[in-house]
Chains A and B, each alone.
Chain A
């Protein structure tokens, strides 16, 4: 038996929880500065350790076998998944972790409602209402995150998928969910468990239907929003369990996550409401395949590309998700090294959402040892474009589409882009003319100063590097 057990809700336990959430706040704060971010993460993790140990020491805890089983499975899966995951797959990993968090909240809510009903007493509203909230939001978050994961992992099409009358179905679901919530709350003397499970199921369907119509390009914002939701639902679980650590930590994530979501949406020049309800690529189904007729374009090989690059004054590389998928960051770095040896200035233009999340591309290029000074943000590089000899687009698509600027009817109208078409010449390395995440055709490919190099990004970069070496 453990000697020094803590009384649930007692001063010692609460004091330790206060230590824990203070560490969370410091951790998040430090996470906002590049120099302290890594330490901030460790501080927050230490806070988590304090919170977990405190809870394990609570008086009356039992069923240690099951607790160890749960912790063991969770730790094993978490560790293995985190070590195995490729840097390119980071966004969907975050979605998945967020999903299981939401799932945990929904399960805890279900268990609490069972527990409360089994006592056979009047269910106090100040725990029933948070439980209902936690159940609904946790379930939406679980399923929404799983869909986001499946989309980013290409398990289901990344294009927006929308059924006709989608908005009506969603509205009916929301009304049904609210109605059941009200019925449960009114009937708080003996709330029905069956009704609560129905509530979880309806919330699950809603989570699926809300995220399915959203295109892959907007997914980071959705994941961030679901992250904030899961935080809030965790706080609600804290109200139900009278646990101050849950209330504070959950709320912190809810509010900081909301700000982060808004900042991300701003970086993409889109509003959150627009992302959630417009269904990126507005035209359903057929519109995405883009007309079908072949438009004229210029196709070149690696040798031509090497010559264009080697005799340029300045080159801007625009990396996109295709580069990440092909693991081409190292090969591209070799091209840049070859060019720099010949006195060509090489910079990288990083769109705020290059890769699949803000900052994702920076992580990938950092992995390839690209110097930080050479990574230019969009606002910094766009004015330089007219003076750039060659812009090389590697696996990027929508973020270079001039339609965002020129065509007010385009689904991506208004999205900030890297203005590669302003450069004297453009080389696009891409497998085919197929559209990107947004599911729309890219006018850039058909402009007179654009040459297409159809190849795998990694192979193409390696070929170009060796061709430059041979010149």
Chain B
């Protein structure tokens, strides 16, 4: 890929990012930050590429740590976001909960 192609992609992605986040309700700020946080865990791919093509002791170590870090970022990020959003999707249920076992 030529440098100019990459810059084109970069600039377009900047505008997509701006456009996609429009008027977010305050309630969703934290989960959304957490979700985009998980997405930048994609640097883990860089770690995979480093280790996958490495033939040098130091690169093995650096790359493996990078993979572990990136994976924590991805797995933890998406799971935590899911847990947070799970709190909201419970909303419609309380009405339906039959004979409230937590009552007394």
Residues of A within 8 A of B (CB): 9, 24-25, 27-29, 31-34, 37-38, 40-42, 44-45, 48, 51-52, 55-56, 58, 60-63, 66-67, 69-71, 73-75, 77-79, 81-83, 85, 87, 90-91, 93-94, 96-98, 100-101, 103-105, 107-108, 110-112, 114-115, 118, 126, 220, 223-224, 227, 230-231, 233-235, 237-239, 241-260, 263-264, 267, 352, 357-360, 362-363, 366-367, 369, 371-372, 377
- Chain B positions within 8 Å of A227 at CB level: 33, 36-37, 40
Give the most central of B13, B39, B56: most A CB within 10 Å. B39
B51 adjacent to A70 (CB under 8 Å): yes
Selected A-B contacts with CB under 8 Å, 25 pairs: A9-B1, A25-B16, A37-B32, A37-B85, A38-B86, A52-B74, A56-B48, A69-B68, A70-B47, A82-B79, A97-B38, A97-B77, A101-B41, A101-B43, A103-B65, A108-B66, A115-B59, A230-B37, A238-B6, A244-B1, A252-B13, A260-B24, A267-B26, A358-B27, A359-B31
A251 adjacent to B14 (CB under 8 Å): yes
Contact among A66, A101, A103, A371 with B51 in the assembled complex (CB-CB below 8 Å): A66
Which of the four size classes fits the interface of chain B? Answer: 35 or more
A359 adjacent to B35 (CB under 8 Å): no
- Chain B positions within 8 Å of A256 at CB level: 17-18, 20-21, 36
Residues of B within 8 A of A (CB): 1, 3, 6, 9-10, 13-18, 20-54, 56, 58-60, 62-91, 94
CB distance from B28 to the nearest CB of A (A): 6
- Chain A positions within 8 Å of B51 at CB level: 63, 66-67, 70
Contact among A48, A110, A112, A358 with B30 in the assembled complex (CB-CB below 8 Å): A358
Contact among B24, B48, B72, B81 with A61 in the assembled complex (CB-CB below 8 Å): B48
Give 20 new A-B contacts, CB below 8 A, not counting A94-B30, A239-B3, A241-B46. A27-B35, A37-B31, A41-B31, A42-B82, A44-B35, A75-B71, A79-B75, A83-B79, A97-B37, A97-B80, A107-B47, A111-B59, A234-B40, A239-B6, A239-B10, A246-B42, A247-B13, A257-B33, A260-B29, A357-B30
